[in-house]
């Protein structure tokens, strides 16, 4: 109820104010290393309103895609089955993807000018590049 009244006060009720995106990934398995999937191509289409700086925006989405690949292929959450506690909740076990893990990444912006969102017409694009990518490699496996 508070969100609806906030959106009404801003003049954006019934109007999208959040960023949107879609990801597609091509995942292959190397014959000699059956258990190691590789993300060979990623396409990330994002709608984040007006893009003030295309180069910065493109780099920001690409960084999110690399983060998503790392989360999908290199990380594991270990749970304590008795207490439901995450046992590896620290940065020491975080595995970053290296250059050999990252292949082709295409970023497509669906740019739209919409001043109902704010005067600049921009939406957040902070971590949106990685959100949908985490399940994409698993869904793409043959």
pLDDT in tens, 79-138: 888 988 878 777 777 777 888 888 999 999 887 777 777 777 777 777 777 777 777 666
The pLDDT value recorded for residue 2 is 45
Query: Is the C-alpha dihedral spanning 107, 108, 114, 120 positive or negative?
Result: positive
Burial of 130 (0-12, 13-18, 19+ CB in 10 A): buried
Q: Are 43 and 23 in contact (CB under 8 A)?
A: yes
The pLDDT value recorded for residue 141 is 62
Please tell me the pTM assigned to this model.
0.74
Which are the catalytic amino acids? 127
Q: What is the CATH architecture assignment of 18-140?
A: 2-Layer Sandwich (3.30)
């Amino acid at each position: 109820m508070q969100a609806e009244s906030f959106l009404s006060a801003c003049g954006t009720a019934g109007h999208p104010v959040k960023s949107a995106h879609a990801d597609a990934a091509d995942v292959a398995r190397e014959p000699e290393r059956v258990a190691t999937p590789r993300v060979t191509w990623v396409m990330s289409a994002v709608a984040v309103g007006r893009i003030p700086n295309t180069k910065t925006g493109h780099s920001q989405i690409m960084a999110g895609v690399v983060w998503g690949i790392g989360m999908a292929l290199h990380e594991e959450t270990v749970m304590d089955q008795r207490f439901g506690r995450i046992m590896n909740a620290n940065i020491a076990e975080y595995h970053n993807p290296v250059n050999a893990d990252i292949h082709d990444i295409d970023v497509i912006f669906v740019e739209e000018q919409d001043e109902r969102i704010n005067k600049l017409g921009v939406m957040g694009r902070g971590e949106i590049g990685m959100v949908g990518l985490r399940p994409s490699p698993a869904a793409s496996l043959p």
